Amino acid sequence: MEAELAALAASGASTMVTLMVSDAWEQVRARVVRLFARGGDEAAVEGELRGARSELLAAHDAGDVDAAGDVEEEWRLRLRRVLRADPMAARELRRLLDELDELGSQGADQPVVSVRNTITGATVNGPVFQGQQFSHLTFTSAPPRSSGAPPRSSDTPAAE
């Protein structure tokens, strides 16, 4: 269960940070605020998200990948605490991620992030942001290795 919450928090934070610097942020901002506030001070969360968004935009303009990564890590840890404290928050986050994925597959007017992941054990698999461009950011990752036979070592004779 802990691995699943960690994977969900990582996926949620990564998606949230990507959305913060995209045109789609206004579509989901209020729901993200409610998720993090969970009955608390929504105005405070709104201010923190606004600050994080400004920091992300400045990091992007400066080409500072480390600063953007720090913001994502901070929100990942925070989201993990929310998910641990309130089991209903995990359900709400999953629903939000599913809706974003559905909007992305329907060709919505605004760019939306595809967030489909497959969780197996403690490993998160799936093309979350591979080759996608949102606003002025492009997220890419190396393609997965084929699921065929493992590569041979140089000392293994070739089959003839």
Alpha-carbon distance of 58 to 99, in angstroms, equals: 29
Q: Per the structure block, which two tokens stand in for 13?
A: 């934070």
Is 124 strand, coil or helix? strand
Alpha-carbon distance of 32 to 53, in angstroms, equals: 13
Query: Residue length, the chain?
Result: 160
Structure confidence by residue, pLDDT tens digits, 77-111: 999 999 999 989 999 999 988 888 776 665 545 44
Q: What is the pTM of this model?
A: 0.63
Query: Is the pLDDT score of 51 beyond 90?
Result: yes
Q: H or E stretch including 19?
A: helix 2-20
Instruction: For the chain, give every domain's residue range.
Output: 2-139
Structure confidence by residue, pLDDT tens digits, 129-139: 444 444 444 44
